Amino acid sequence: MKTILQRLSERESLTELEMKEAMDNLFANDVTDSEIAAFMVSLKTKGETVEEIAGIVKAMRDKSLSFSKEIPNVLDNCGTGGDGSSSFNISSTSAFVIAGAGIPVAKHGNRSVSSKTGSADVLEHLGINLNHPPERTEEILEEIGIAFLFAPHVHPNIKRIMKVRKDLRIPTTFNLIGPLTNPVELDYQLLGIYRRDYIEMFAEVLKTLGRKRAVVLNGAGFMDEASLQGENHLAILNSGKVTKKILHPEEVGLPVCSNDAIRGGDSKENAEILLNVLKGKKGARRDTVLLNAGIGIFTGGRAETIQGGINLAKESIDSGAALEKLHQLIIASKSVHKEVI
């Protein structure tokens, strides 16, 4: 670790393999919390490269629970959090809409870290069991087309690293990479990030990780979700190329609305908001979900354009398909692994 820390402190970048080896050292029992903190701060100060982020992610995925099945065309729409917007759980709500449109969703998420309510808090309040072995999670994903992966459960070996991250009380690389560490082999990914200057870099990382198509976005007001407030900045990975796009809600037939209109509350309130949106209640929250789910449906290849994705998102909600996905997940999450029956 001493050599790695010295190189980072001298602003020397590491290759993907070197970073993966450095991360393996961080998982060792003899590494100190001070060394982990020094690693995080040195990397942040130097500035991360695509290769370094890819190396970190691959090392973390190697230490996660093993998901062996190759389920085709799976998408995740997890965001980084950390935008300070206090919005309701937009990506969790959108996940059911995307699944209702026929795209398998392996939703990676956690409890609240920087916001009032994390995706896990809301889903638990709705009656969804978060703790399954990988085999049962894969069964659920195959059976109903949506499954939730509770980050601390699927990444049991990174508790100390995450504790140090929290104790530092400053944002580092590890505040951004959570959505990249989904242990399911994804073909598609919609990733919201609170750092607008990182959207192209993270699209390049997703290219390195083998995504067929991906969208990395930063919303108006620097949200880690697409926003109705104004311009949303997107980096789109398609056919191995990354292009940038600015998307305004009026371009896709949605109204302009302040981010204040989509504030959420505690897990109970956010669960009620999620249910109301899936039941078809009109307003800024539904329109925000339509925008985000529409981008997700486009990302997953079910629509040729974002406008087409929004149209399918409307159909998913209005037909009851999105709400049915929620009901199916609640029931499936409470059943045991088939081999135990």
For each of the domains in the chain, give its residue range(s) and CATH number, in order of start: 1-47 (no CATH), 75-332 (3.40.1030.10)
3-state SS assignment for residue 216:
strand
pTM for this entry: 0.95
Q: Find the angle CA(36)-CA(119)-CA(208) to the nearest 5 degrees.
A: 55
Cβ-based burial of 248 (10 A; exposed 0-12, middle 13-18, buried ≥19): middle
List pLDDT tens digits, range 292-324. Answer: 999 999 999 999 999 999 999 999 999 999 999
Annotated binding-site positions for 5-phospho-alpha-D-ribose 1-diphosphate = 79, 82-83, 87, 89-92, 107-115, 119
For residue 7, give the DSSP letter: H
Query: HSE on the CB side for 18, CA within 13 Å?
Result: 14
Confidence of residue 336 (pLDDT cuts 50, 70, 90): low
Distances (CA, A) of 124 to 182, 193, 317: 20, 24, 22
Q: What is the mean pLDDT of the chain?
A: 94
Residue with tokens 């390049």: 204
Binding site residue list: 79, 82-83, 87, 89-92, 107-115, 119, 165, 224-225
pLDDT digits (tens, 9 = 90+) for 160-192: 998 999 899 899 999 899 999 999 999 999 999
The reported pLDDT for the residue numbered 112 is 62
Binding residues for Mg(2+): 91, 224-225
The answer to whether residues 256 and 250 touch, using CB atoms and an 8 Å cutoff, is yes
d(CA 168, CA 15): 26
Instruction: Report pLDDT digits (tens) over 131-156.
Output: 889 999 999 999 999 999 998 889 98
